[in-house]
A = this chain, B = another copy of it.
Amino acid sequence: MTLTSPGPTVGVVGGGQLGRMLGEAAAPLGLELLVADPTPDCPAAPVVRDQLVGGFEDEETFRDLAERSDYLTFEIELADPDVLERVAEETGTPVHPAPETLRTIQDKLVQKRRLADAGVPVPEFRAVDSAADLREACEDLGYPAMLKARTGGYDGRGNVPVEGPDAVEDAVDDIAGPAMVEEMVDFERELAVMGCRGDGERDAFPVTETIHEAEILRESVAPARASDDVRERARDVAHDVLDAMDGRGVFGIELFETTDGEILLNEIAPRPHNSGHWTIEGCHTSQFEQHLRAVAGLPLGTTDQRFPTVSTNILGDVAERQPAALSGEEGILETPRAHLHWYGKREVYDLRKMGHVTLTGDDPDALLADARDLRDGLTFE
């Protein structure tokens, strides 16, 4: 291999916080980053070579991006896999992970079928195209069950719990499109593994415990406060998931540890993931560096952990969309081993991901309590 200046350019579809953190990780490796995003001056813009302004299905933008890049990747599932595939073919710029993988993952039903076929343990599920389908499925799976839109869901949007037979019609109306239903999993805790496929190698970061509220990630604790055996099995499942995917890159793999001690796959994301932000300080290689290494065909870095680490999201807590102004951040800046990550989003709205805070130390319980205290000291004005 040869390092040059300028080095290879990685074109990223999407320039939100994930693009911004990819930008922070690129320069040491000698990589240059371009992002394409419809929002002018997106979060990644100040730390990358250039932003192309265009939508996630805009073929012209994708083509410009591909022509200026040596590798293409994406940091948002809304990227159109058909357009990516066409542009890659026309320009010869490879896309990682493979557009086919993105297509599979975008449709939750196709995703689950593919993984179940590959032997990955998943909750029981059924396709749902009508209220009759849902009623029949729930007779098998039991109530409550979770109805999910097959496409477009995000941070719990597109998920509707079905409490009983009377709720079936409304749930199907709510989703208003192709759906799937899953048994409601009785879980001890939720886990996540950031896996990575490189050029002929694969690896996984230490298992993370993820704490959600209203289906939005609040905190990540690494290593997960689960038994060694559970953590080992979670990693095994992650490896099986990676083997079922195509192309290179980081995958966020969300899992359930059931009350029976089983590991079940919940969902995967073909990109760096919120539950892996802690790796920036907590591991020797961050998930962002790892994704770039994979996409650019460089050797993967070690996934070893530096310290027990907790991160907590900074979410919007305002009633109305308004310019972002956060007070209380000096509490984070004054705390040794607390790390602020501000995403630079111009506006805040309720529950919008505006940044995160990472704390490293020794004891996960104490770190979690401290991280919550720091976060609770923040207010949007």
Contact = CB atoms under 8 A, between A and B. Distances in A.
Interface of A: 1-7, 20, 23-24, 26-30, 32-33, 45-49, 281, 284, 293, 298-299, 301-302, 304, 306, 323-327, 329-330, 333-334, 336-337, 339-342, 344-347, 355, 360, 381
A40 to B, nearest CB: 13
Nearest to A4: B325
Given A46-B48, A48-B46, A284-B360, A326 B29 contact: no
Given A28-B24, A299-B333, A333-B299, A324 B46 contact: no
Rank and list the top 4 A-B pairs by shortest CB-CB distance, nearest first.
A30-B342, A302-B336, A3-B326, A46-B49
Contacts of A345: 5
Contact of A2 (B48, B293, B325, B339): B325
A27 B32 contact: no
Most buried by B among A3, A48, A327, A344: A3
A324 B30 CA distance: 12
Given A1-B330, A5-B324, A329-B1, A23 B30 contact: no
Given A2-B325, A325-B2, A330-B299, A7 B342 contact: yes
Contacts of A4: 323-326
B47 A23 contact: yes
Contacts of A29: 340, 342
Contacts of A47: 23-24, 26-27, 47-48
B301 A3 contact: no
A130 to B, nearest CB: 45
Contacts of A48: 46-47
Contacts of A330: 1, 298-299
Given A4-B323, A6-B46, 11 more contacts: A2-B381, A5-B323, A5-B346, A23-B27, A24-B24, A30-B355, A284-B336, A284-B337, A284-B339, A299-B330, A299-B334
8 contacts: A2-B326, A4-B323, A4-B324, A6-B344, A28-B342, A284-B339, A298-B333, A306-B306
